[in-house]
Amino acid sequence: MSKSYSSLCDDFYVDMYVNTKLDLPKERDTILAFFERIQRQFPAMGNFSRKETGEYCLEEEREGDRFRWVTLEVDRIGSTCINPTRLQDAYELHSLVLELAPYMLGVSHLDMTSLDVTFTMDFDYQGNHDEVVAEALFGSTAFTSLLDLPNTTPIGFSPNVIVALTEDCRTQARIAVEPRTSVYEVRHERYKGDEAISLYFTIRRYPDPQGKFDAPASFVRQCRIAEEIMVERIIPCFAKPLSNAIAQRRK
């Protein structure tokens, strides 16, 4: 399935984020033990670093299009797989992180603010990103009516929509499109083309305070929901229009 996603974009990411209420541990032994345990299951993940922001990261040596990493931020755990051959390849890494978090990082169900599963699609384009987004996703809506004004140019078309998928509003879907063309590039018609248009689709679950949050079980449900909506809504209504709009401009 991930191969079909990749055929519509230039890079496809499968991300998982655990957002916490309390700061994550900073002790040297705890952090190293956590990453060593991940490396034991994924030996290619051997590059460990600490960023200027204080974030810790364990990643693979990037070879070709496939790549993965795990990060520990102040109050967030993240794991990412780029261009996995199968979605299951990404899910295996994310599931391991969720399995290790409680007993190696002390993250309990009380500490979890939310759990995110995010599918990201990057579309390379050297030109006005906002123009592509306006054409592909806004069509003849009220927003594009502004482009009928004399001498107008799209410079801020960044849709970001969230919907609740359950009556308690604790399971939510978010779709966001992020163009990265600067006003300077548009003004001078000098497009670097080194950043992509990104389409983010996230299924987020907020724990129910009335019960114990089972993060691994929720992760499985969220992945299933994400895959279904990707096929039924995101691919036909967002990804394909963006891909087609870019293809038309490259002719």
Tokens of 53: 């922001």
Distance between CA atoms of 187 and 229, rounded to whole angstroms? 38
Beta bridge partners of 39: none
Give residue 181's domain range. Answer: 2-250
Distance between CA atoms of 222 and 68, rounded to whole angstroms? 20
Q: Which residues contact 168 (CB under 8 A, 6 or more apart)?
A: 208
Q: Which residues contact 73 (CB under 8 A, 6 or more apart)?
A: 24, 53, 54, 55
Distance between CA atoms of 82 and 13, rounded to whole angstroms? 4
Residue 99, pLDDT score: 97
Residue 78, pLDDT score: 98
Task: Give, to the nearest 10 degrees, the angle between helix 87-105 and helix 215-229.
Answer: 160
* Number of folded domains that form the chain: 1
Residue 242, pLDDT score: 96
H-helix segments, the chain: 2-6, 28-41, 87-105, 129-133, 183-188, 215-229, 240-250
Distance between CA atoms of 31 and 28, rounded to whole angstroms? 5
Residue 3, pLDDT score: 57
Residue 193, pLDDT score: 77
Tokens of 68: 């993965």
Each residue's pLDDT tens digit in the chain (251 positions)? 555 688 889 999 999 999 999 999 999 999 999 999 999 999 999 999 998 888 999 999 887 788 999 999 999 999 999 999 899 999 999 999 999 999 999 999 999 999 999 999 999 999 999 999 999 999 889 998 999 999 999 999 999 999 999 999 999 999 999 999 999 999 988 888 789 999 999 999 999 988 889 999 999 999 999 999 999 999 999 999 999 999 988 76
Distance between CA atoms of 191 and 127, rounded to whole angstroms? 6
Distance between CA atoms of 45 and 47, rounded to whole angstroms? 6
Q: Which residues contact 94 (CB under 8 A, 6 or more apart)?
A: 14, 16, 79, 81, 117, 219
Give CA 129 to chain center in angstroms.
19
Burial class (CB in 10 A: 0-12, 13-18, 19+), 98: buried
Instruction: Provide the residue count of the chain.
Output: 251
Distance between CA atoms of 20 and 81, rounded to whole angstroms? 21
Residue 189, pLDDT score: 87
